[in-house]
Amino acid sequence: MEVRKTLQPGDMGTRRLLNMYGSKLVCVRYRIDKQQQKRYTTVELIVDEKPDINQKSRVIVWVKINYGEKELRKQAMENGARWLPEEKVWQISYDKAKKLGLKKRIVKRRVVADV
């Protein structure tokens, strides 16, 4: 099957599909099956939207490490964790927190624009 034409939302020939799918519509494609002599209209849709946590180094988390857990605190510091005394938590990147086994101790997370 070959792609004959790809249209962006708002292009001529997409109005009906744009009305159906709204802002979730990414593009419309017309595909040709030469063997069966048929034309197919396909759409690409946005079905889910959330922060890009595949770039985990861009996600900063706060984790709880108890005062008596000296070895764990030392490992966290060696991995770039910073103590936030007012909040009484350690701040560290998500990927390093996961590596240290601190995933269940996360109390807050945020995505950082440029790391």
Same domain, 63 and 27: no
pLDDT at 52: 60
Same domain, 62 and 104: yes
Same domain, 64 and 40: no
Q: Is residue 33 part of a domain?
A: yes
pLDDT at 55: 55
What domain count does the chain have? 2
According to DSSP, residue 22 is labeled G
pLDDT at 115: 42
- Is residue 2 exposed (0-12), middle (13-18) or buried (19+ Cβ within 10 Å)? exposed
Q: Which residue intervals of 1-115 are DSSP H helices?
A: 15-21, 70-78, 94-99
Q: Which residue intervals of 6-113 are DSSP H helices?
A: 15-21, 70-78, 94-99
Q: Is residue 50 part of a domain?
A: no
Q: Taking the complete model, does pTM exceed 0.85, yes or no? A: no
Same domain, 60 and 41: no
Q: Is residue 93 part of a domain?
A: yes
CB 72 within 8 A of CB 101: no
7-46 pLDDT, tens digit per residue, is 999 999 899 999 999 999 999 999 999 999 999 999 999 9
Q: Which domain holds residue 16?
A: 2-45
Where a domain ends, among 10, 25, 45? 45
Same domain, 77 and 35: no
